[in-house]
A and B are shown apart, each in its own frame.
Chain A
Amino acid sequence: MHRPLLLVLSISVILLGTNDSIHRPTIYRLGNDGTPYSQPSSAGGVIYRGSGSGGQWRTSSRGGWSGFQGRGPSGVK
Chain B
Amino acid sequence: MAQPSGVHRLFQSIRQQPLLLWPLLSLMIPLWPGCTAPMPKRELLAQELILQSNGEVIFSQPFVLDAEAVGATRLFASVGLPVNSAISLTTELLNASDQVVLAFDKEGWRERGTWQEDGQSGIYDESDSYYEVLFKPNQSGQYRLRFAVDGLEDQAGQALVAQLPLRVDVQDRRVDHGLAIWTFWISLGIVLMFLNSIYCQGRRRYGGRIDDLLETSAFTRMNYEKGVIMIKMKGRFELLSYINSDAYKKTSSSIKLPLSLEIIDGNGLVLQSEKITLYLNKKSANDEDDPPYWQFKKRLFFYNPRLRSLRFRLSIPEQIDCVEQEWIDFDLRDRIVSMRPLNIRRID
Contact = CB atoms under 8 A, between A and B. Distances in A.
Is B truly associated with A? yes
Interface of A: 2-3, 6-7, 9-11, 13-14, 16-18, 20-24, 27-32, 36-37, 39, 41-42, 44-50, 56-57, 59, 62, 65-73, 75-77
Contacts of B154: 68
Interface stretch (B85-93, B234-242, B290-298): B85-93
B71 A13 contact: no
Interface of B: 26, 29-30, 32-33, 39, 70-72, 76, 84-86, 88, 90-93, 99-109, 111, 113-117, 124, 126, 128, 130-139, 150-151, 153-155, 157, 174-177, 179-180, 182-184, 186-187, 190-191, 193-194, 197-198
Nearest to A70: B111
Contacts of B180: 17-18, 21
A10 B190 contact: yes
B100 A27 contact: no
Contact of A44 (B99, B130, B177, B184): B130
A21 B105 contact: no
Contact of A32 (B26, B138, B193): B138
A18 B30 CA distance: 10
A37 B135 CA distance: 9
Contacts of A44: 76, 130-132
B132 to A, nearest CB: 4
A46 B108 CA distance: 9
Given A36-B134, A73-B115, A21 B179 contact: yes
A70 B85 CA distance: 9
Contacts of B109: 68-71
Task: Name the prevailing secondary structure of the B interface residues.
Answer: strand
A45 B136 CA distance: 17
Contacts of B187: 10, 13-14, 17
A49 B133 CA distance: 13
A11 B29 CA distance: 6
Given A7-B26, A65-B150, A76-B126, A30 B137 contact: yes
B71 A24 contact: yes
A30 B136 CA distance: 6
Interface hub of A9, A11, A21 (most chain B Cβ within 10 A): A21
Contacts of B105: 46-47, 49, 62, 65
24 contacts: A3-B198, A6-B190, A7-B29, A10-B190, A14-B187, A17-B187, A18-B180, A21-B183, A23-B70, A28-B134, A29-B135, A29-B136, A30-B93, A31-B138, A36-B135, A44-B76, A45-B131, A57-B100, A65-B151, A69-B107, A70-B109, A70-B126, A71-B128, A76-B115
Given A28-B136, A57-B101, A13 B26 contact: no
A46 B104 contact: yes
A68 B187 CA distance: 47
Contacts of A29: 135-138
B193 A6 contact: yes
B83 to A, nearest CB: 11
Contact of A67 (B70, B151, B174): B151
B183 A18 contact: yes
Contacts of B104: 46-49
9 pairs of A and B residues whose beta carbons are closest in the complex: A17-B183, A73-B115, A44-B132, A68-B86, A70-B111, A31-B138, A76-B124, A10-B190, A6-B194
